[in-house]
A and B are shown apart, each in its own frame.
Chain A
Amino acid sequence: MNPRRKKRLLITSALVVGLSLSVGLVLFALQQNIDLFYTPSEIINGKNETGVKPVIGQRLRIGGMVLNGSVKRDPESLQVSFDLIDNGGGIVTVYFDGILPDLFREGQGIVAQGELLTATEINAFEVLAKHDEEYMPPEVAKALEGMDHLKKNKK
């Protein structure tokens, strides 16, 4: 091999190694930070698409409707817990320590992000309600499709 080719080969292989290393690192970082979306029924029965159940300790997002009468507050602190339900009938309890969003109400669709504590309990670090009367996350809208409560609310 002549020296020029050798140099080119070196540069190219260095580039390839560097590139694949960084892509690998990015993908690894990505893997750690992907939060799958579940509905309450999917947490109990496994995801519709793949049938995979979440593992305890996993970070995830959950969306569903706040069950009427299920909001319980701790009298001393901002600890609150409530149940989420969807059209599959599964019920999951969410614990949250903090200020609930303005539009959080019983009987409304919400999204929470958190960690699975037990098979049907989630410790949330973030609770999102819809931005206004019109808006509902599409995932939640799908999960609640056909439920009585929603029909009543439709204009």
Chain B
Amino acid sequence: MLAEIGQFTLAIACMFALLQTVYPLYGIYARQQNAIESAKMLTILQFVFVSLSFVILSYLFLANDFTVTYIATNSNSALPWYYRLSAVWGAHEGSLLLWVLLLALWSCAVAVMSKRLPVESIARVLAVLGLLSVGFYLFVLLTSNPFLRTLPYFPVDGRDLNPLLQDIGLILHPPMLYMGYVGFSVAFAFAIAALMEGRLDSAWAKWSRPWTMAAWVFLTIGIALGSWWAYYELGWGGWWFWDPVENASFMPWIAGTALIHSLAVSEKRGVFKSWTVLLAISAFSLSLLGTFLVRSGILVSVHAFASDPERGLFILAFLILVIGGSLLLYAVQASKVKSRGRYRLFSRETMLLSNNILLIAALIVVLLGTLLPLVHKEIGLGSISIGEPFFNSMFSILVVPFALFLGVAPFVRWKRQSINELFKPLLHSLIIATVITLLFLYSFASHFTWLALMGVFLGFWVLSCTCYELYLRATHRFSLLKGLTKLGYSHWAMSVGHAGFAVMIIGITMTQNYSIERDVKLHIGESIRFEHYDFHFDAVEALQGKNYTGSVGVFTIKKDGQYVTTMKPEKRIYTVQRMPMTEAAIDAGVTRDLYIAMGEMLPDGGWAVRIYYKPFIRWIWFGPLMMGFAGILMMLDRRYRVKKVDEEEA
């Protein structure tokens, strides 16, 4: 009964979403204030009903109701309760329900938190969001209903959640990523509403900026979480595979990064406006494209749960409708947008433009590498795959100008900048960066490579430029300490975000150049030694978990004879699906990770063991965390906060 109610509330939510689209727009057309103002209420109602539906599905999971097909295929009564809950979004149907829930959540947030915006603008934004919701509700209801029953012959127990997904990283990764994906719909809706209205001004950029930033923060953290999960859970110690599904989340991130920079220019200087709109449309379109690629089953990977041509066709049609429609609107309306600001060739504007150009180039590289195999196959030339070296070499090339400009840009003023003025700070930064790079490589690098030198230098270049700029800005009028406290949040946001990027670059460079990976055969009692570390294979013990059994290897690690730690990599067999899983043991550290994963037991009693030494790999995820934190700082900036204080007074 409950499942039917869940489906019913979902249908009601769909109706409210439809009303949320039609009624306010009608109100604007017919000049009926009531209808315009109803948008907020309808949005809230839609959110309430979709939440109800989601809560019901979660409850059914917790209650182990295996009469529901989706639950029977993705859960099991032996699963701990938190995995039963996260199993709600463990597969296709539920993850789409999560998607519509989050879309409603964002819409609701816009409805509640934008009191300062003109009612009509809000109504338009909500109408656009409602239309998107309707599309996704129809998708869930017509092609991927999570509430379908298995009656009359239902299983006694479920088939269990894919063991790869039974992990804390996977409880958090999809909701975060989806918050990001779906969040770009707000930026998209603001852009479309502005185009409909024919009014694109600095106020528009100011409104959509914190929303875009929020979505970007979620996406950044979501991608970082996914990468971290892949590192410890897949058992090969990689952190990024240029897998099409990863690329599908990376593309909206690149577009979003370009968007937040371009929005800054539009807000402060009133230029690049039509470009910003185009970016807002692209960021969300790429999110949709990502969903299409992942959900339609044309890609096969860990993420592609089900392949069903009907679903693919539906998303493709929706994709064409949304992207085609918005680009058409853009083509008709964008010519009306006039930029009034003027700027010279050497100015902050140009710097940010070059940031955008380089990001778009990176985007095209990823897009090409992701779609080419599909096109190649569809036109009958056979299946191909694009190797990692393609992406790696393209990104190694693109990051050089990107990081160099990134260091310079914060020093450059809006409108125009004389080159002579910049000479001193840049020279100082260059000297500092070079010295630190050499010291760093001398202490941590086992041998010299040009690539490592370049990567580490770029990282420290960005870091020293960022710090130097902070110093200059702080000591401009006050003493250093007082000046630092006087800086606005958005200035700190820029510095922390850029520093996060630098940290990530250093992490990637060190990991890619100095990792040591050994696949070895060890008998109990044997040991292997490299990078001053001694890995001694002590024993193998039996393992008994709640829904798995297996064996644990016990390793004692010594560095130069000193005891460091004991590591216990596991080999699990999940009993329900009879699926073996590798649980790597990781000893994490600021400057290095040690990583041991058990392979299989060989016929002569030895074990295949994978032992890695990964320098600075934590920095790869710490960088994005800093970037996410920077985004939050920006949203707390006074010019967005003051607005709220005003609201309370009003």
Binding site for B on A (CB under 8 A): 22, 26, 29-30, 32-37, 47-50, 59, 61, 73, 75-78, 97-100, 102-103, 113, 131-133, 135, 137-139
Number of B residues near A (Cβ < 8 Å) is: 43
How many residue pairs, one in A and one in B, have C-beta atoms under 8 Å apart? 92
CB 8 Å contact bits of B55-92 with A (1 = contact, 0 = none): 00000000000000000000000000000000000000
A34:B610 contact, CB within 8 angstroms: no
Among listed B120-128, B174-182, B387-395, B503-511, interface-contacting one: B387-395
Nearest chain B CB to A150 CB, angstrom units: 17
Min Cβ gap B298→A in Å is 9
In the assembled complex, B516 has its CB within 8 A of some CB on chain A: no
Distance (whole angstroms) from the CB of A137 to the closest CB of chain B: 6
Q: Given A102-B581, A103-B580, A133-B578, are A26 and B368 also a contact pair (CB < 8 Å)?
A: yes
Taking a contact as CB atoms closer than 8 A, the residue among B382, B582, B602, B609 that contacts A49 in the complex is B382
B603 smallest CB distance to A (angstroms): 7
> Can you list 24 A-B pairs, Cβ within 8 angstroms, ordered by A?
A30-B368, A33-B387, A33-B388, A34-B385, A34-B387, A36-B382, A36-B384, A37-B383, A37-B384, A37-B385, A49-B381, A59-B387, A98-B519, A99-B519, A99-B597, A99-B600, A99-B608, A99-B609, A99-B610, A102-B235, A131-B162, A132-B579, A133-B577, A135-B300
A73: chain B residues at CB < 8 Å are: 602-603
In the assembled complex, the CB of A112 is this many whole angstroms from the nearest CB of chain B, namely 12
Given contacts A78-B519, A132-B579, contact A29 B393 (CB under 8 A): yes
Judging by beta carbons under 8 Å apart, are A49 and B380 in contact?
yes
7 tightest A-B contacts by CB?
A: A99-B599, A33-B390, A37-B383, A33-B387, A102-B580, A98-B519, A99-B608
User: A34 near B384 (CB under 8 angstroms)?
Assistant: yes
Chain B: CB-nearest residue to A133 = B577
Interface SS of A by simple majority: loop
Q: Assess the B604–A75 pair: CB atoms within 8 A.
A: yes
Residues of A within 8 Å of B388, CB to CB, are 33
B573: nearest chain-A partner, CB-CB: A102
In the complex the two chains form, what is the Cα distance from A39 to B368 in whole Å? 25
Beta-carbon contact of B521 and A77 below 8 Å: yes
Which of these, A30, A61, A132, contacts B577 with CB under 8 Å?
A: A132
Query: How many angstroms between the C-alpha atoms of A62 and B408 in the bound complex?
Result: 47
The residues of B that contact A36 with a CB separation of less than 8 Å are 382-384
> Provided the pairs A49-B382, A61-B385, A138-B300 are in contact, do residues A30 and B520 lie with their beta carbons within 8 angstroms?
no
Q: CA of A100 to CA of B368 in the docked complex: distance in angstroms? A: 31
Task: Find out whether the CB atom of A50 lies under 8 angstroms from the CB atom of B381.
Answer: yes
